[in-house]
Amino acid sequence: MLQTNRKGKWFEAIVPNEWEGFNLEDVFRKIWEAPKKLTYTFRIENKVLLNSNTPNWNMPLVHGDKIMISLFEETSGEAPPTFYDVPILYEDDHLIVFNKPAFMSTHPNNIEVDKDTLLNAAIYHLQAKGESRNIRHVHRLDRDTTGAILFAKHPLAGAILDRMLELRKIKRTYIAIVNGLLPSKKGIIHEPIGRDRHHATKRRVSLTGQDAITHYQVLKEDKKQKLTYVKCWLETGRTHQIRVHFSHIGHPLAGDLLYGGGAFFNRQALHAAKLEFVHPLTGEKIICHAPFIDNPQIFKGIDVYQL
């Protein structure tokens, strides 16, 4: 794990043995895989120091060198703050993981109109702590889906996490309740997903769609109601992926009226129960479990801490 400190607006990282011989450009572009444009911005705006001095970005680093990066400057949020008491699963100077409730959008479609989203609540939370940041989500959850969702507090963390998501280095585990009893206790649904040309917000399995892979494992069966509780994890993150895939194999999510799931619950039975990743700047292993927060409870007899 990288040794780091915060000093005011500056993030300090101590060069470890494995970075020796790399230069600053290598750290940003090869180790962190930050975008070229963002790296250039840090360089041209003199937002990086080496041992408290303006650095030569091409000079090899030495174990124990102190890299200072201006990460914590005050910036205004892109949406107005709105108070909502949203549970927090993890937070530090770089990122925050919320346990999103049902019936809350991840972000506004129209900043002037939509003021009750998770982004509005996140901005309020930070301002209440005296932090003014342009926070943004790294991935999304549907409005009616609950559970763990990751936000980045500054552009460098956001860029690294975006790349990690692209490389499938952020593991998201979901719990779903599907209609019917599945013929197999575990499996993989590998079907491309595209837009449904007959419905503006709906998706469907389509030969011309984007590649999509969903793994699943049966946790328990409710034979009386003919429902199956499944654990799902994704190799891709397409819009409505779990909902589309299970509908496609004839087992739509319970409560998912859009995809034929029937009115078992007041929303589709889908919860982002676990989030796992390596911290983008410290290297620490982060595991967040998201307890169920529905009232009345939808997912009964499932312990998210055992996933």
CB-based contacts of 250, cutoff 8 Å, min separation 6: 180
Place of tokens 């993030």: 11
Handedness of CA 234, 284, 271, 165 (dihedral sign): negative
What's the rounded Cα separation, in Å, for the pair 132 and 126? 6
Q: Which helix (H) or strand (E) holds 159?
A: helix 155-166
What's the rounded Cα separation, in Å, for the pair 110 and 6? 35
Q: In what order do the strands lie in the sheet with 4-7?
A: 4-7, 10-14, 66-70, 48-50
152 phi/psi in degrees, rounded to 5: -105, 140
Q: Please, are residues 192 and 205 in contact by the beta-carbon 8 Å criterion?
A: yes
The crossing angle, in degrees rounded to 10, of helices 155-166 and 36-44 is: 160
Catalytic residue among 142, 144, 162, 256, which?
142
Q: Please, are residues 165 and 152 in contact by the beta-carbon 8 Å criterion?
A: no
86 phi/psi in degrees, rounded to 5: -95, 125
What's the rounded Cα separation, in Å, for the pair 137 and 121? 12
CB-based contacts of 144, cutoff 8 Å, min separation 6: 102, 103, 267, 268, 270
Catalytic-residue membership of 256? no
- The catalytic residues are 142
